Structure 1
Amino acid sequence: MKSCQYYFAPQSPWAYLGHERFVALCRGHGVQVDLRPLDLGKVFGVSGGLPLAKRAPQRQAYRLAELARWSEHLGIALNVQPKFFPVSPDLAAKAIIAARLGHGGDIALDLAHAIMRGLWAEEKNIGDEATLAAIAAGCGLDGQQLQKASQTASVQAEYDRNTEEGTAASVFGSPWYIYEGESFWGQDRLDFLERAIAR
Structure 2
Amino acid sequence: MSETTPDAIDYYFWINSDWAYFGNPRLKAMGERYGLPINYYPVDIGAVYARTGGIKLPLRSKERRDYRFLEMRRFRDILGMPINLEPKHMTQSVEIPSRFAIAAMHMGLRAHDLVHAIMTALWVEEKDIEDAATLVAIANGLGLDGAAILARSKGKEAAGQYYRNTDEGIANGMFGAPFYVFRGEGFWGQDRLEMLDATISRALGKPAALADLKAAS
- TM-score, length of structure 2 as denominator length: 0.88
Which residue of 1 is the match for residue 205 of structure 2? none
Which residue of 2 is the match for residue 194 of structure 1? 197
Q: CA deviation at 1:87?
A: 4.4
Taking only the aligned residue pairs, the percentage that are identical comes to 42
Q: Deviations over 1:175-198 (max 9, x none)?
A: 100000111011111111111111
How do residues 14-53 of structure 1 correspond to structure 2 at under 5 angstroms?
14-53=19-58
Q: Which amino acid aligns with 2:124?
A: A
Q: CA deviation at 1:155?
A: 0.9
Q: Which amino acid aligns with 1:93?
A: S
Question: Which of residues 186, 191, 206 in structure 2 aligns to 1:183?
Answer: 186
Which residue of 2 is the match for residue 69 of structure 1? 74
Which residue of 2 is the match for residue 165 of structure 1? 168
Q: Deviations over 1:76-127 (max 9, x none)?
A: 01011110113421111111111111024xx121100000000001101001
Residues 13 and 42, structure 2, Cα contact 8 Å, conserved in 1:
yes
- Structure 1 runs not aligned, ≥5 long: none
Superposition misfits of 4+ residues, deviation over 3 angstroms: none
Question: Which of residues 5, 13, 17 in structure 2 aligns to 1:8?
Answer: 13
Q: Deviations over 1:32-66 (max 9, x none)?
A: 10111111110010111111110011111110111
1:103 is paired with a residue whose SS is coil
More helix by share: 1
CA distance in 1, matches of 2:160, 2:46: 17
Residues 100 and 153, structure 2, Cα contact 8 Å, conserved in 1:
yes
Is 1:101 the counterpart of 2:103? The answer is: no
Question: Which of residues 127, 131, 155 in structure 2 aligns to 1:128?
Answer: 131
Q: Deviations over 1:156-193 (max 9, x none)?
A: 11111100111112201111000001110111111111
Residues 172 and 184, structure 2, Cα contact 8 Å, conserved in 1:
no
- Structure 2 runs not aligned, ≥5 long: 203-217
Q: Which amino acid aligns with 1:5?
A: D
2:11 is paired with a residue whose SS is strand
CA distance in 2, matches of 1:120, 1:144: 23
